[in-house]
C-alpha cells in the first residue's frame, strides 16, 4: 500500500496484521511498532489482552534509510537522527505515516470509536497523529480525515513539539478538541533508549498547549520494553475512556 504526503517521495508500507474483536465491536485502534520492528510483533501481544470489544490494526512501517543508523535501512515510520524531540523533524515521513494510519481508520463503521497507540517511534507517530487530529490537518496542510477518541503512547516522545504552541494559538476549536482528547503516556524510569525525561517533557508540552485529558504514568525500573503492569494500565484506561462493555458475545 502506498501513501505519500507530497510529490517527492512515495512510501511503501509493509504488511498489516488485524486482531478481530472477540466480543461486540465497539472500538478500533491502530497500534504502531517501534523502530526496526514489524506489525506482527505487537498483534501477537494485543491478541492476549482482555479487551474483547477492540479491533486492533497493526501495520508495518516502510523500510527506509534511517539517519540514526548512519543511513542503514530498516522499518521506520519517519527518518530520525535522535530518538527524542531534540532532533530535526521529518515532516514528510510523519505526514505519510499519519495519513496511512488515518486511511486505515477511515473505513471503520461510523458508530465505532477510533484510537491510535504505539511503542517508541510508534508512540511518537501516534502523538503526531493526535496533534493532526486536533488541528484538523497534517503538517502539509491537507485535511485530517478522522476523529480520534483515545491515544496511547508507550516509551515515546512528541515530534514537532517546538512548533505546536504557535499552531495552536488562535484556534479556539483546536484548544477545545485538545482538552477533550484522552491521552495515556507511559514511560519507564530505566529507559536507556528514549530517556524518561523525553517522555516527561512531551507530556508537559502537550499539557501546556491545552491537552488537559492527559495521564502520564512512570514505572520504576522499567527499560525500553513493556511489562504486564503497564499493559494492565492500558487495558483499564481504554475500557474506562472508550466506555467498553467488556462482554464477550
Contact 92, 65 (CB under 8 A): no
In the numeric block, which cell numbers belong to residue 217? 504514568
- Residues marked as catalytic: 120, 191, 224
Phi then psi dihedrals of residue 55, to 5 deg: -95, 125
Contacts of 5 (CB under 8 A, 6+ apart): 91, 92, 93, 95, 96, 99, 138, 139, 140, 142
Give the pLDDT score at 159. Answer: 96
The whole-number pLDDT of residue 248 equals 45
Domains, the chain, with CATH or none: 14-241 (3.40.50.1820)
Rounded to whole angstroms, the Cα distance separating 86 from 160 reads 9
Tens digits of residue pLDDT in 127-186: 999 999 999 999 999 999 999 999 999 999 999 998 998 898 878 899 999 999 999 999
CA distance 177 to 173: 6
Tens digit of pLDDT at every position of the chain (249 positions) = 444 444 457 899 999 999 999 999 999 999 999 999 999 999 999 999 999 999 999 999 999 999 999 999 999 999 999 888 888 899 999 999 999 999 999 999 999 999 999 999 999 999 999 999 999 999 999 999 999 999 999 999 999 998 998 898 878 899 999 999 999 999 999 999 999 999 999 999 999 999 999 999 999 999 999 999 999 999 999 999 999 986 443
**Phi, psi of 87, rounded to the nearest 5 degrees:** -80, 175
Stretch (H or E) spanning 237: helix 228-242
- Sequence-distant (6+) residues with CB within 8 A of 140 are 5, 6, 91, 92, 95
- Residue 233 neighbours by CB under 8 Å, 6+ apart: 184, 186, 217
Q: What is the pLDDT of residue 84?
A: 80
Amino acid at each position: 500500500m502506498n501513501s505519500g504526503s507530497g510529490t517527492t517521495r512515495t512510501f511503501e508500507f509493509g504488511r498489516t496484521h488485524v486482531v478481530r474483536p472477540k466480543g461486540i465491536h465497539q472500538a478500533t485502534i491502530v497500534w504502531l511498532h517501534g523502530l526496526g520492528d514489524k506489525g506482527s510483533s505487537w498483534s501477537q501481544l494485543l491478541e492476549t489482552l482482555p479487551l474483547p470489544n477492540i479491533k486492533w490494526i497493526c501495520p508495518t512501517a516502510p523500510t527506509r534509510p534511517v539517519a540514526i543508523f548512519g543511513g542503514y535501512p530498516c522499518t521506520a515510520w519517519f527518518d530520525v537522527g535522535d530518538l527524542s524531540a531534540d532532533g530535526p523533524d521529518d515532516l514528510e515521513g510523519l505526514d505519510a505515516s499519519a495519513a496511512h494510519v488515518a486511511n486505515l481508520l477511515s473505513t471503520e463503521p461510523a458508530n465505532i470509536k477510533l484510537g491510535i497507540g504505539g511503542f517508541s517511534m510508534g508512540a511518537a507517530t501516534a502523538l503526531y497523529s493526535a496533534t493532526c487530529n486536533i488541528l484538523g490537518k497534517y503538517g502539509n496542510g491537507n485535511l485530517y480525515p478522522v476523529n480520534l477518541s483515545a491515544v496511547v503512547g508507550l516509551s515515546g516522545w512528541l515530534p514537532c513539539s517546538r512548533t505546536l504552541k504557535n499552531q495552536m494559538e488562535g484556534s479556539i476549536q483546536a484548544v477545545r478538541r485538545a482538552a477533550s482528547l484522552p491521552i495515556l503516556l507511559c514511560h519507564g524510569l530505566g529507559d536507556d533508549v528514549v530517556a524518561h525525561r523525553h517522555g516527561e517533557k512531551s507530556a508537559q508540552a502537550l499539557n501546556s498547549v491545552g491537552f488537559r485529558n492527559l495521564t502520564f504514568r512512570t514505572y520504576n525500573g522499567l527499560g525500553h520494553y513493556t511489562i504486564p503492569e503497564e499493559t494492565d494500565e492500558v487495558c483499564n484506561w481504554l475500557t474506562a475512556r472508550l466506555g467498553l462493555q467488556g462482554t464477550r458475545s
